[in-house]
Amino acid sequence: MLNNEPMSYPDFIKLFNFLDSETIAAMDWIKLYSAKQGVFLELNPANIESVKVNLVQILTSQGRTQADIELFARKMGNAWRMKKHRQSKGVVSLSVSLDKTIAAKLAQMCSGQTQAEVITQLVTGNYEEFLTQKNELKAKLAEEKIILKAKQASAKFEKMENKLAISAQQPTSPSDNEPAQTEELRNGIASLFDLIFTAHEQGSKIDEQLLLKATKIYYGAFAK
């Protein structure tokens, strides 16, 4: 039964004394719950006491009666205690949006059982299969990435091989930039060789002719 005796402003605030946590999660819950009831609190309250004051300020400014505020506090308190009870049992509440057809199928599956029970069974029964498929997909994407890089490396090897051939045919009078260019070329060849060799070692579908060609160019460059 709701109290019909006039209440003072501090008494209104005491109605919300069940709010006893200042964690980020708790503050977010309070703001979300209040917003669903049409009460939009300050975005960044200083502490839980300021939240209580802000609640009463907004409720009274909206012209709600004492009975309305008491009912609001009662319902919010019940929801708060249920939230804490779920947390103490290691249970969390999920809110997800599903396609209408999926939601309808889930409703059919839940005949005689709760949604929590059905979802628990689905996750428990298929989690290992889900992980296997996820890992297989991850490995496939990694292999495709290596193959792509190897193809790009192949094109670069062609250019480097041509550059080496041209360099070998030029007069032996070295230019000021030749040592730096040679070192840059060798570093590039070494990096490309490592990429293709690593891909080959990991079992990716790398053309063995490409590997042999890369090896030839690699040792040819460093023998000079």
Residue range 92-106, pLDDT digits in tens: 777 778 888 988 888
Q: Assign residue 144 a region: left if phi > 0, alpha if psi is -120 to 50, beta otherwise?
A: alpha
* pLDDT at residue 13 in the model: 95
Alpha carbons 146 and 140: distance in angstroms, whole number: 10
Using 70 as the pLDDT threshold, list the residues of the chain that sit under it. Answer: 1-5, 127, 130, 150, 153-154, 156-158, 160-161, 163-165, 167-224
pLDDT on residue 200: 62
Quote the pLDDT of residue 1.
Answer: 43
**Distance between CA atoms of residues 90 and 88, nearest Å:** 5
pLDDT value at position 57?
Answer: 96
Identify the pLDDT of residue 165.
66
